Amino acid sequence: RLGVASGDPDHQSLVLWTRLCAEVLQPDGGLPNAPVEVAWELADDERFTAVRARGTTLAVPELGHAVHVEVAGLPADRWFHYRFRAGDAESPIGRTRTLPAPTVLPERLRFAFASCQHYETGLYTAYGHMAEQDLDLVCHLGDSIYEGKGRDGLVRKHHGGKLQTLHDYRVRHAQYRSDPLLAAMHARCPWFVTWDDHEVENNYADDHSERPNVTPEQFLQQRAAAYQAYYEAMPLRRAALPKGPHSQLYRHAAYGRLVDLFVLDTRQYRTVQPNGDGRKPLNAAARDPGNTLLGAAQREWLAAGLRRSPARWQVLAQQVMMGLVGHRPKATPAPAKADAKTDAKTGQSDAGPAHVDELRFAMDQWPGYFHERAWLLRQLAAQKTANPIVLTGDIHSHWVNDLRLDDHAPQLPVVASEFVGSSISSGGDGEPAAAELAALQRDNPCVQFLNRQRGYVACTVTPELWTADYFTVDQVTRPGGVTSLAARFHVAAGQRGVHRD
């Protein structure tokens, strides 16, 4: 019922996943409260004539009858097929692959990244398009489920109320994964997954809930349930198995010497959003050196990994936007050029850029963690021979940003390029937003692209060139949406900064 998945490959091993389920919307999956034996097979070919590895494992009720098999001892840079059997039930067949050996410089990697797949606000049409591409892997950057209660009048409806217990989160993951387009994409190639906020609750920070009446102790109980259900639902290694409300999800993968992938977790260890969250000025509270998205341990791990990275491209697969994009306060909208006049307070022409102090920034994103962002960009700038790329989800819109130590100082050198991928379905059909882009660019020279339709980004990576294909879907609120290439950007190795093709 929930399909198959694979994930977290290295050059010799990977994870095969399924979860036994007879009734998708039952807390126990409609299964007995007892272990069930599951047989698995991994073969070189789709017809399973050349089986490379097989075994049996137990699907236990304590883990929602989820199965995570870590298959090791595999040859590097190879595709495989896999399937499961339990009793007389046979799973669909999945495709997966190992990564190239760490010493090799591969000619090419093609992968997609995606985020934000709200079940109620749209169909997974983008995954249908993604499945037709020739991809080596997928990175999912979070919001793989949403925690809200079922609402009427939308495209589809969540089963049940707002998520709180392990059963609640389990059923929600199962409902999402019963979507045939999502299940088919999981079966198509290995995924590297990470979470954002909605796998637990909107804009949570460590043990801090947005709801004022919830104590840290209460929230950590809920987080433990959510983290366990996430582990059960995803093709993760045993190393990510939660211990209570803790799970180490940040990790590294090497695609030979082409890409070092750093998968980050910017929720579990972060300090509370400054200035009460929302869009606020880049003030002293936002610049407080005590603010952290990564936490000390992840920060040190990342710095060490970047320092010794031998790869051509250093990739941060993470959640929230790093570009310091400022918005004018609602009360003083950007005027059209035709009626431009001089602002009495600032002495500036309204048609010119606003001063950074006049702008408002998202406190849930990297601007609210300004000091740590500057630290990270200094780390990236120090990697003189390397090519840093930041991948981002969260905000249900496509962006391309040049990242500098100060994004409002375009005379500074570009340090890294940020590709923000739009949502698969969250937010409904959306719009191209060309006028909004033009207005934003006047105040934010870092912004190279914006589109508020649904979609995903596919990247082709070679030793010389990074190419990012921005796909958009014309409608997700009805079946039959058409996916097309909205824009293509590239970064040349050794030359920081992004260019539109």
Does residue number 196 form part of the binding site for Ca ion (CB under 5 A)?
A: yes
Does residue number 31 form part of the binding site for Fe ion (CB under 5 A)?
A: no
Kindly tell me which of 41 and 143 has the beta carbon lying closer to Fe ion. 143
Shortest Å, Cβ 218 to Ca ion: 22
Cα separation values, 246 from 20, 113, 221, Å = 25, 25, 11
Shortest Å, Cβ 263 to Ca ion: 16
Q: In this chain, which of 8, 10, 41, 143 binds Fe ion, going by CB under 5 A?
A: 143
Shortest Å, Cβ 426 to Ca ion: 9
Q: Binding to Fe ion (CB under 5 A): which residues in 403-432?
A: 426
Q: Binding to Ca ion (CB under 5 A): which residues in 134-163?
A: 143
CA distance 196 to 24: 24
Which letter does DSSP use for residue 247 in this model?
A: -
Does residue number 199 form part of the binding site for Ca ion (CB under 5 A)?
A: no
Catalogue the E-assigned strands of 267-350.
279-280, 313-317
Does residue number 41 form part of the binding site for Ca ion (CB under 5 A)?
A: no
Does residue number 394 form part of the binding site for Ca ion (CB under 5 A)?
A: yes
Tokens of 271: 């300090």
User: What residue type is 126 in one-letter code?
Assistant: A
Kindly tell me which of 8 and 364 has the beta carbon lying closer to Ca ion. 364
Degrees to nearest 5, angle at CA 137 with 480 and 388: 110
Q: Binding to Fe ion (CB under 5 A): which residues in 65-124?
A: 116
Size of the site for Ca ion (CB under 5 A): 4
CA distance 123 to 179: 9
| H/E run at residue 59 | strand 51-59
Burial class (CB in 10 A: 0-12, 13-18, 19+), 34: exposed
Query: Could you say which of Fe ion, Ca ion, none residue 236 binds, taking C-beta under 5 to 8 angstroms by partner kind?
Result: none
Kindly tell me which of 98 and 117 has the beta carbon lying closer to Fe ion. 117
Length of the chain: 501
Query: Could you say which of Fe ion, Ca ion, none residue 197 binds, taking C-beta under 5 to 8 angstroms by partner kind?
Result: Ca ion
Nearest to 124 by CA among 450, 479, 421, 427: 479
- CB–CB of 7/69 below 8 Å? no
CA distance 302 to 63: 30
Shortest Å, Cβ 427 to Fe ion: 8
Kindly tell me which of 256 and 367 has the beta carbon lying closer to Fe ion. 367
Q: Which stretch binds Fe ion (CB under 5 A): 91-99, 135-143, 465-473, 482-490?
A: 135-143
Binding site for Fe ion (CB under 5 A): 116, 143, 426
Binding site for Ca ion (CB under 5 A): 143, 196-197, 394
